[in-house]
Structure 1
């Protein structure tokens, strides 16, 4: 007996129900949430400051790990620039590899340029871009951890591979942090923070948020350096880098929860409307 085509169509249509309006609404809401820009450092945002401070801690771990292993830095490109000058002058001897230092500087510049310009296209403070940027940075650090954990050789090619991953990640991190408008927490460079902290005319004021940011940045960078150095000496460099990667993973997740600009604007509008209603009621009462 031949099958009933109408029954087949009815059955197939019942097997694949249409997407509900509620699901579409949730999808649009999620897309809208991810496309909003987060509030920058011109406002008091403890979560954003905590995220940048944790990234500074992770940076300290990385530099304290890469220097004893490869005699160069993943983030401190001032130091790498000086090392290159010393090496090219011929007075460095065998203290370091110019190629490794050059790879670090080049990868940092490439990471800063590429991630910064892509961020400009997306919107550097868009939530989705901040999340993607942090995912990329963190994945590169995990890749460096995997190489160090699985490869026992200390060949120059391995060194350049690890340094390239970490330096590119660091460049992307700095490029991500700059548009957030908290220049006191660069997540990488300490020299300017030391100088700005000490010459601040309001250094001894009781309430000075910029001073507090600089001080905490230096503390977190130094603490990360100590943690990285001890983890490297007591366990190994792969373990130290793993700690850095875990810190960056936490920041990646937290980036999904920062206050958005539109939420703040809506709050201000609601406050203004509330004030307006209060004034109207007071005016009506007087009449």
Structure 2
């Protein structure tokens, strides 16, 4: 299959940003861990290790939030590593973009099944009392994190204005550093980042709203459907008509 250029891929990459907010909302609501935010999870694990060296108050416990952070980090890395399959198929080919997104959908579906079978609740009351404590719940968190890890590497390989489609910190910094930040006309480097931020926010909002209505398993099931739609979308991504007409004239 033919390859996709970064400038053609704005719509599915924006949908990726939406899915980041959507998946993160479900994970954080249940265990106060962001499946896509590995900076926080890495620091949380560092704090867990630091507790071993507290003078006179050595704490050898491996608390549920620490376990969740470790599971999320390791599975995120695994998902990102799977993205290297795309290097062999061609990281921008429609075949890989479709297949990679379908794998994300399968991971999300597996997470939904695991949470459903675990019998755990969807909303945690406070940080010390996470809703997901069963082994299957940790497996679900792992599948969610792996889906975002794979999504991130695909987004990075496409190399559009949305970075990995996961880390808003980078997008915020690039937005603030954009020399055309205050231009009144349409500026791709600025406006695409603004759209990414808005869509990630909407993903979190809608994810929580759906979770409150049908629970985390149901919300992940809906998320699976979203990912399948994005996967099919990659097959139809093409050169924008305006660019095609310009190319014909030249």
RMSD of the TM alignment (CA)? 2.5
Q: 2: distance between equivalents of 1:253 and 1:108?
A: 24
Name 2:2's counterpart in structure 1.
36
Q: Pick from 38, 43, 60: which aligns with 1:77? A: 38
Does the Cα contact within 8 Å between 1:184 and 1:210 map onto a contact in 2? Answer: no
Name 2:173's counterpart in structure 1.
195
Do residues 184 (structure 1) and 162 (structure 2) align? yes
Which whole-Å deviations, capped at 9, do the CAs of 1:26-48 have from their partners, x for residues lacking one?
xxxxxxxxx2111223xxx3xx2
TM-aligned CA deviation for residue 94 of structure 1: 8.1
Which whole-Å deviations, capped at 9, do the CAs of 1:97-145 have from their partners, x for residues lacking one?
3222111101111111222x21111110111111111111111101111
Q: 1: distance between equivalents of 2:40 and 2:62?
A: 17
Greater gyration radius:
1
TM-aligned CA deviation for residue 193 of structure 1: 1.1
TM-aligned CA deviation for residue 155 of structure 1: 3.5
Q: Pick from 79, 99, 110: which aligns with 2:67? A: 99
TM-aligned CA deviation for residue 204 of structure 1: 0.9
Does the Cα contact within 8 Å between 2:64 and 2:133 map onto a contact in 1? Answer: no
TM-aligned CA deviation for residue 199 of structure 1: 2.5
Give 5+ residue unaligned stretches, structure 1: 1-34, 273-287
**DSSP-derived class of the 1:98 partner:** helix
TM-aligned CA deviation for residue 185 of structure 1: 4.7
Range with bigger deviation, 91-100 or 227-236: 91-100
Name 1:254's counterpart in structure 2.
233
Q: 1: distance between equivalents of 2:28 and 2:49?
A: 19
**DSSP-derived class of the 1:97 partner:** helix
TM-aligned CA deviation for residue 55 of structure 1: 1.5
Name 2:92's counterpart in structure 1.
125
**1:201–1:63 Cα change, 3 Å:** same
Range with bigger deviation, 135-144 or 73-82: 73-82
Q: 2: distance between equivalents of 1:236 and 1:54?
A: 22
Which whole-Å deviations, capped at 9, do the CAs of 1:65-113 have from their partners, x for residues lacking one?
1112123121111121122122222299887432221111011111112
Which TM-score applies when normalising by structure 1? 0.72
Do residues 212 (structure 1) and 173 (structure 2) align? no
Name 1:6's counterpart in structure 2.
none
**DSSP-derived class of the 2:6 partner:** coil
Name 1:150's counterpart in structure 2.
117
Give 5+ residue unaligned stretches, structure 2: 121-131
Does the Cα contact within 8 Å between 1:71 and 1:95 map onto a contact in 2? Answer: no
Name 1:237's counterpart in structure 2.
216
Which TM-score applies when normalising by structure 2? 0.82
Does the Cα contact within 8 Å between 2:115 and 2:137 map onto a contact in 1? Answer: no
**DSSP-derived class of the 1:186 partner:** coil
**DSSP-derived class of the 1:36 partner:** coil
Range with bigger deviation, 244-253 or 233-242: 233-242
